[in-house]
Amino acid sequence: MEKQEIFAKGQALPKDWFSGEAFLNLLIARDENNDFTIGSVSFEAKARTNWHTHPKGQILLVIEGNGYYQEKGKAAQPIKKGDVITIPENIKHWHGASAKNKMVHLAVTNYKDEIQVTWLEPVTDEDYQVVTQNEL
């Protein structure tokens, strides 16, 4: 029997900002009551964001699988189902799936004025391989 996902995968995310296969199901849009969005982001194995920042920070709630979160200048940290990652404002970082497993997280992302995220350069395959080389 196939495992039922909590949320549908949603729409494919742009290759300009993501490496590999990643999808977004927007659960809560910004409106007059909420100055943030909540999205379920699904990363297939090896998929990841580009480096990026958020002017008002972000919270990730991992709901399935395994992956990584890394802030610029620090070692990448493994993340797994049940982990909560609080990302401070304007911290350059990336997150995504492990090399062998998919990962799904809920992303709670705040706005500052009209800006929610600033996309930067991709995480290179070489840099990603350094992070994932010791996976079992």
Residue 36 φ then ψ, to 5°? -155, 170
pLDDT, tens digit (0-9, with 9 covering 90-100), for 43-86: 999 999 999 999 999 999 999 999 999 999 999 999 999 999 99
Q: Where are the domains of the chain?
A: 19-132
3-state DSSP assignment of residue 130: helix
pLDDT tens sequence across 81-135: 999 999 999 999 999 999 999 999 999 999 999 999 999 999 999 999 999 998 8
Does the domain at residues 19-132 carry the CATH identifier 2.60.120.10? Answer: yes
Say if residues 66 and 101 touch (Cβ distance below 8 Å): yes
Of residues 132, 127, 126, 107, the one with CA closest to residue 117: 107
Neighbouring C-alpha atoms within 13 Å toward the C-beta of 122: 13
